[in-house]
Chains A and B, each alone.
Chain A
Amino acid sequence: MKIHEYQAKQLMAARGIPVPAGRVAITVDEAVAAVRSLIEDSGNPVVVLKSQIHAGGRGKGTFIEHPEVRGVIVVTEAIDGGVEAAEARIGELAEQMLGSTLVTIQTGEEGRRVSRLYVEQGVDIDRELYLAVLLDRSASRNIVMASTEGGMEIEKVAEETPELILRAEIDPAIGLAPFQANELAHGLGLEGDSARSFGKFVKALSDAATQLDTDLIEINPLVVTADGAVMALDGKMAFDDNALFRHREVEEMRDVTEEDDAELAAKEAGLNYIKLDGTIGCLVNGAGLAMATMDTIKLVGAEPANFLDVGGGATADQVTTGFELITRDKNVKGIFVNIFGGIMRCDVIAEGIVEAVGRLGLEVPLVVRLEGTNVALGKQIIDESGLDAVSADSLSDGARKIVELTT
């Protein structure tokens, strides 16, 4: 699960991790109202207005409705014109941003609707660094990743100048040790007060990762201010969905408007669904087999419309919900059901299909491949239902058939 930048900063601030002061706004008035106190409290006339969406690249992104407006804007009007000038500018920008669609390198062409803004105090930046806590799968532990190349795309740094990325493994029984924080600070070229502040920062951040069960915390950039303080200028957090049961305060931060409707509906029904751009709907049991089914469809010349794993113990009801999700997608020109019944019995799947088609109707070709437990009974149920379904002997046979029927 992902959260917004301002929410990540709230969670950090609550754990003593320094972040700039800021206020969230869902209306133009709220955005304007935040300006005066931010400027007066910080003594810095600069404020920053940041669109809050669950995607990166906001600073360089632009709005479909206002191509000249970027997703993040530094407002400097107060330097010459006083607080009122900054308020006027923030009001004007908030008006354009709220309800408009922000397109960044991570949103795709359709972009994301902005419904929350974050107004933040300006910071005098001396250096920009990169800091993250994430799982190293080979080590089976979290690691701290740090780099002097703040503000850059870290994947690019990793590829072009891997020597500029520092790593420290976090022992789950000990946490990040002081010497490791010191090594990182030294490696980043920090000295004196900045090195000490960084040490506290990275220790608190690695503890937060453990306490909050994050998949990823990424601070890009982490800044050293002109007076030597260390602060998170941006903040991204993603959480382990399997651990949300013990983090109600995080679960409450969920912004459902950032999530896909069909994926949410699937989750509620206990299914795993991911919408894709192709035309062949797939209903499969097992994540590996579901991926392989998509791959095979592509191999025989079409594109999958979705990933759908109905799991190992699906009921007829869940199969019906799965069918509903697939047929809701208007791009779908054909459906391929691919089941290897192990624990899941083929007759249960067959009943689910017959029931779903009876309820929802079927306007596109359907190919069914059943294998495994009670396969004969499953095939018999489909045959006797009078359903207009083509049966297949294997995954590749089924993929070929559905592609032929739809082209």
Chain B
Amino acid sequence: MSILVDSNTKVLVQGLGKTGQFHTDTAIAYGTQMVGAVHPSRAGTESHFEGETDHTGVPGRDNTYSVDLPIFATVKEAVAATGANASVVYVPPPFAADAIMEAAASRLDLVVAITEGIPVADMVKAKRYLADKPTRLVGPNCPGVITPGECKIGIMPGYIHQRGRIGIISRSGTLTYEAVHQVTQLRLGQTTAVGIGGDPVNGTNFVDVLAMFESDPETEGVVMIGEIGGTAEEEAAEFVASEMTKPVAGFIAGTTAPAGKRMGHAGAIVSGGKGTAAAKIEAMTGAGIVMAETPSDMGEAMVRALG
């Protein structure tokens, strides 16, 4: 088992510009079932992808791929033609929230929004639109979701992952890679790694993903990586204390970040004394989460938490 995505997930890509094109190629090479693209100006054509797969030499797997991905004008048409149940959004920021709503209008199970720089007000509206839809949004401004060996949706490097028993949730892209890499080197591997994104308004939060990992039989422990800004980590700590039976390891970035400054991510800001790293570390430690002092110790912290 895993959460959110697996080998049955059929994925559409929304926005087949340079970035969308590049990452669709790496997703196909990884073995993800990419079934179509939505890009109105190229509707009715196909986009060709070919190359060596990531599992070249693995017995029973293909060494090469050659795919003609059909391009559609709308998500609705694409879903009707392909049976897609998930999409990934690479659409530029001014139009990305609309793309998310379009995916939800077709009642996809999952939308993963990679786009960075979507106006907050657009996300506020999109989130309200999603409230009565069955669609789960992950992101925006996130690396994506991966279930190793089955499905990679997003911009993370596939090869650092290894199928295993640890769930990973993070607001930061590169810190997710650090955690994944360490967990792989310790031979624990991952069930699923989820980047929830660095924006102040996002679709899925720590608590949502923690609950999914708690009920996933294959996941034995969770690494949770937060950063300054907001109170999502504090809410997650409460959830861990009251609802989680599985061990959780954690890390918070931004202890040295000055107040009132946005640290790269739109959501990473300490304002009015709220959202400090100290408060988050205290809440998480209090909830029994084993905290890593530096990102280099995240894997070790997971080992300690597993006991």
Contact = CB atoms under 8 A, between A and B. Distances in A.
A155 B273 contact: yes
Interface string B48-85: 00000000000000000000000000000000000000
Interface stretch (A24-32, A250-258, A284-292, A314-322): A284-292
Interface string A368-380: 0001110000000
Interface string A231-242: 000000000111
A164 to B, nearest CB: 16
Contacts of B256: 276, 291, 294-295, 297-298, 303-304
B177 A396 contact: no
B294 A296 contact: yes
B59 to A, nearest CB: 25
Interface in B118-176: 118-125, 127-128, 143, 155-157, 160, 170-175
Contacts of B277: 295
A291 B157 CA distance: 21
A295 B253 contact: yes
Contact of A397 (B172, B229, B296): B296
Interface string B258-296: 100101111110001100010000000000000001111
B143 A395 contact: no
B159 to A, nearest CB: 8
Q: Taking chain A's interface residues, is the majority helix, strand, or loop, or is none over half, making it mixed?
A: mixed
B173 A288 contact: yes
Interface in B290-307: 293-297
A133 to B, nearest CB: 12
Contacts of B121: 172, 210, 213, 240, 243
Contact of B124 (A142, A154, A272, A274): A142
Given A142-B124, A294-B256, A396-B297, A371 B181 contact: yes
Contacts of B230: 137-138
A312 B155 contact: yes
Given A142-B124, A242-B120, A242-B266, A396 B227 contact: no
A394 interface: yes
A63 B262 CA distance: 28
B172 A289 contact: yes
A285 B177 CA distance: 12
Contacts of B117: 242
A274 B177 CA distance: 24
A297 to B, nearest CB: 8
A142 B128 CA distance: 12
Interface in A144-194: 154-155, 158-159, 171-173
B264 A294 contact: no
A299 B297 CA distance: 13
Given A138-B232, A286-B173, A295-B294, 16 more contacts: A135-B200, A141-B124, A172-B128, A274-B258, A285-B174, A287-B264, A288-B264, A291-B227, A291-B253, A291-B263, A292-B253, A299-B293, A299-B294, A340-B177, A343-B155, A395-B294
Interface of A: 135, 137-138, 140-142, 154-155, 158-159, 171-173, 210, 213, 215, 240-243, 245-246, 272, 274, 276, 284-292, 294-299, 303-304, 307, 309, 312, 340-343, 371-373, 394-397, 399
10 contacts: A137-B232, A141-B124, A242-B117, A288-B172, A288-B173, A288-B264, A290-B264, A292-B294, A342-B160, A343-B155
List 8 tightest A-B contacts by C-beta distance, closest first.
A288-B172, A287-B264, A286-B174, A243-B119, A289-B174, A291-B253, A288-B175, A396-B296
Interface of B: 93-94, 117-125, 127-128, 143, 155-157, 160, 170-175, 177-178, 181, 198, 200-201, 225, 227-232, 235, 251, 253-258, 261, 263-268, 272-273, 277, 293-297
